[in-house]
Chains A and B, each alone.
Chain A
Amino acid sequence: MSGVPLFVTLTAYAAAVGASLRWRGLRYMPPVLIAAGAVAIYLYVLKMDMETYRKAVEPLTFLLGPSVVALALPIYEQSALLKRKVGLFAVTAMFTTLFGCLLGLIWGFFALQDQTMAVVLSARMSTSAVAAATAHTLLGDPGGQEAGAVAGSLAILTGIIGPILGPTLLTRFGVRDPIERGAIMGTVAGGLGTAKALEEGPEAGAASAVGMCLAAIATALLLPALYFLVKSRWQ
């Protein structure tokens, strides 16, 4: 019965999409979260552990790799539009990384007094895979792998806020340009933000993919420097 978790995941997602189309009250909750909650209840009721579930839904997670590669198509198709906003991308990526990483480092070093937590809390500002890799590289091998896993799951937690509050906040403050909306969603909320931005349209999706990419690169390049700077103040 190894196909059941996959079936449950697909059904939960289809039902969540259907429900959010039908009831307007659910529009602030992304279908991803509703489906994930339903799957979590299923796992809890059947007492299935995460490892078994992860193995069973491997076909889905396996497709995540080619899907990220596929983001090259909207970027290529919208490149003329994206080129006009180079400054916007640079500023959002740099500012997000500086602000997020510094806050994480300062809280980790000065409040929690823990080097591992400082790295984990600052690395999570980029998309989950980069967060895991950066944390692993910075901490070195004893404990680095585990810290990487923690950073990855915290990156997902950070990205959750994007699809829930991002579009509403952007609309409320009058940001209507799809490129600007996408760039912010991607840089701040990574892959989950990009998935939401793609629902708004191809321009927002492409901008979001570029934003996610730039934020990941900025984190991987800037975080080591910021880390040693804050660490030297701490000691």
Chain B
Amino acid sequence: MTETGLRSGDTDYSPRFTAATISSRATEGLRGLCILFAFLLAGEGMISLLHLPFPGSVIGMLLLTVALRIGIVRPEWIRLTARTLLFFLPLLFVPLCVILFHPPVATVSALLRYGVLGLLGTLILLLGTPLCLFLLFSFALGRREARRSGKPE
């Protein structure tokens, strides 16, 4: 334990917790959030103007990638916010996944309309397609990798 009360492994983080660094990090985070929201709004504006069948966030992501590449936005402006948000990305999916355990009435009635056989087939299709794709891709790529690593021997 050091005099700051942190364990020895944490000491290199201690300078971050002064009032000045906290406020500068907070400003940095807010600036990043503003930029991300600006691009989200730009994306949403574009889809409502052009009637594209895409979510605004995906268009916003493409616009931000372009802006980063041509240098309108500097990566360090958004780094703190983007890293923090992406670290918590799985958490943001929890409310969406709850729908699986509480499916909307429309989903259940749409699936139940086809009886047991149709329902089973549909479920197999829903879960089997990604499984088949994973098997196919990993088999093909794995074989290629094995061939490549086998060649020099």
Contact = CB atoms under 8 A, between A and B. Distances in A.
B69 A165 contact: no
Interface residues of A, number: 101
B100 to A, nearest CB: 6
Contacts of A146: 106
B86 A71 contact: yes
B78 to A, nearest CB: 6
A64 B141 CA distance: 32
B127 A161 contact: yes
B53 A177 contact: no
Interface string B34-56: 00110110010000000011111
B36 A9 contact: no
A220 B50 CA distance: 14
B138 A170 contact: yes
Q: Is the interface of A mostly helix, strand, loop or mixed?
A: helix
B96 A61 contact: yes
B103 to A, nearest CB: 6
A69 B57 contact: yes
A67 B11 CA distance: 31
A156 B43 contact: no
A176 interface: yes
Contact of B94 (A12, A134, A174, A217): A12
Nearest to B55: A129
B119 to A, nearest CB: 10
A65 interface: yes
Given A43-B102, A124-B126, A209 B138 contact: no
A50 B141 contact: no
A86 to B, nearest CB: 15
A175 B101 contact: no
A147 to B, nearest CB: 8
A74 B86 contact: yes
Contacts of A225: none
Interface in A147-170: 149-150, 153-154, 156-162, 165-166, 169-170
Most buried by A among B52, B53, B107, B113: B53
A174 B118 contact: no
B9 interface: no
B98 interface: yes
A50 B104 contact: yes
A72 B61 contact: yes
Interface string B113-130: 110001001100111011
Interface of B: 33, 36-37, 39-40, 43, 52-58, 60-62, 64-65, 68-69, 75, 78-79, 81-83, 85-104, 106-107, 110, 113-114, 118, 121-122, 125-127, 129-135, 137-139, 141-143, 145-146
12 contacts: A37-B101, A61-B92, A64-B57, A73-B79, A73-B82, A74-B86, A99-B132, A160-B100, A174-B142, A184-B137, A191-B93, A220-B53
Interface of A: 9-10, 12-13, 30-33, 35-37, 39-40, 43-44, 50, 53-54, 57, 60-61, 63-77, 79, 92, 95-96, 99-100, 103-104, 107, 111-112, 114, 116-117, 120-121, 124-125, 127-130, 133-134, 136-137, 146, 149-150, 153-154, 156-162, 165-166, 169-170, 172-177, 180, 184, 188-189, 191-192, 194-196, 198-199, 205, 209, 213, 216-217, 220
Which 7 A/B pairs are nearest by Cβ-Cβ distance? A40-B101, A173-B142, A129-B55, A36-B97, A72-B64, A68-B57, A70-B82
